[in-house]
Amino acid sequence: MSLKGTTILGVRIGKRVTIGGDGQVTMGNTIIKHNATKIRTLGNGKVLAGFAGSTADALTLFERFEGKFEKFAGNLPRAAVELAKDWRSDRILRRLEAMLAVMDENASFFISGTGDVVQPEDDIISLGSGGPYALAAAYAFLAAGYDDPTKIVKGSLEIAGKICLYTNTNITIATL
């Protein structure tokens, strides 16, 4: 699922985890907000999450994910799978138009309403229209020897903001 209008990037190096997102909100071809926050810290500070898509839908999914995370005693993979199962099978949730990225010190997952729960191979997760640009930049920073996930996320989102029409450089970052 590719959603326009945002860029989320998360990077894990060892146990150091950072996720960031741009602040631009668009409706069609009009920018309506420059400083939205598209990332959250969940699970009593143990999980970083970001979204692409409808804000109201994402907030609903953040709540549902946090409930699953608590129900399964902080087991991120299990919480991700259970949310995806509910999202796909529940008549109301099935209509939600968003995609989540969730990360803790040990794992990262994309979660979608089609039942996808994907763990990226390289501890880098990206979402949204600017996601491919930020992902490419993150790989370049890693290849150049950068080892600070916060610097990688910030630099990569700044690059994406210069390329993607639906992404700006008003960046919010959270770390574990």
Catalytic residue numbers read 6
Nearest CA to 18 out of 171, 144, 133 is that of 171
Single-letter code of the amino acid located at 31 = I
Instruction: Provide the residue count of the chain.
Output: 176
**DSSP states along 67-79:** HHHHHTTT-HHHH
Partners of residue 39 on adjacent β-strands:
50
Q: Quote the CA–CA distance of 116 and 125 in Å, as a whole number.
A: 14
Which neighbouring-strand residues pair with 9?
20, 126
Three-class DSSP category at 133: helix
What DSSP character marks residue 49? E
Residue 145: which region, alpha, beta or left (left: phi > 0; alpha: psi -120 to 50)? left
